[in-house]
Amino acid sequence: MRSIFLLALGLGLWSALPVAAQRVLLQGNVAADTAVQRTGPNRARYGHLYVGYAVALGSSSAAAPVSRAKSGELFLGWRQKWRFSQTAAVGLGTQYSRLAYRLTQQASKQVPTATLHSRESLVWQQLQAEPFVRLNFGARGNVIGRYLDLGGWGSWAFATLHTYKDKPGAAAKTVKVTEQGLPYTARWAYGASLRLGSGRYALVARRRFSEPWRGTAVAAWSDLPRWTVGLDFGWL
């Protein structure tokens, strides 16, 4: 009698297991299948960190001679994108930028002074905002893919620096001076940008439309190179 009872109990438990397993499986799958993923590289919205460097290009005068190979812009920021079709999106980038112009030391130099130094630079440390329109190319899944960004940017310089280094000789081996809060440098700037990318890598070109100086320096001093061209690396 006991054997028959144990056998019946075992069969009952065995027959109940698939039902319980099926019930859990159905509950899990329904939730997963109906979830809508709205964030991702090729979804409704997506954001990521990025870092890059661009060299300064463009003409400079004898009064404000710039070493282009040693001048450029280092930037770090966050880029947010909102997609509204498979081929188009809009976005906004916000970044910290350090724009530095290395001044060539030659007799014709007048900016910011005519004094020659061992090394001399003008630096703008900025906060920038860049709205843009993105055009996507080619077939892709949930990845960034290939794209072209067209945008405009504006910046505010929270710090401006004039740094120079001299080697006086007997008094000291090296003397380095940093002047801050320069009264002749413009605090606000604006321009246009173009970015051609594939995945995490992009070629970046930016042009400044505003003047780098303010006050009487606008008319008295020559312009600095208006273009920067470089690479942008996305932390996806």
Task: Select, from the ranges 33-47, 139-153, 176-190, the one with the highest average predicted confidence (pLDDT).
Answer: 176-190
In this structure, the dihedral spanned by the alpha carbons of residues 15, 21, 27 and 31, taken in order and rounded to 10 degrees, is -150
Q: Per-residue pLDDT averaged across 83-90, rounded? A: 92
For domain 39-235, say whether CATH 1.20.272 is its number: no
Residue 209 has pLDDT above 50, yes or no: yes
Q: How many CB atoms lie within 10 A of CB 204?
A: 21
The 10 Å CB-count burial string (b at 16+, else e) for 148-169 is: ebebebebebeebbbbbebeee
Q: Which residue has the higher pLDDT, 138 or 124?
A: 124
Report whether 135 contacts 193 (CB < 8 A). Answer: no
Per-residue pLDDT, 13? 46
Residue 9 has pLDDT above 50, yes or no: no
Per-residue pLDDT, 178? 97
| Angle, CA of 183, 69 and 123, to the nearest 5° | 20
Query: Can you give the residue ranges of every domain in the chain?
Result: 1-35, 39-235
Q: What is the pLDDT of residues 15-72, one digit of tens each?
A: 444 444 444 444 555 455 555 677 877 788 999 999 999 999 998 999 999 999 999 9
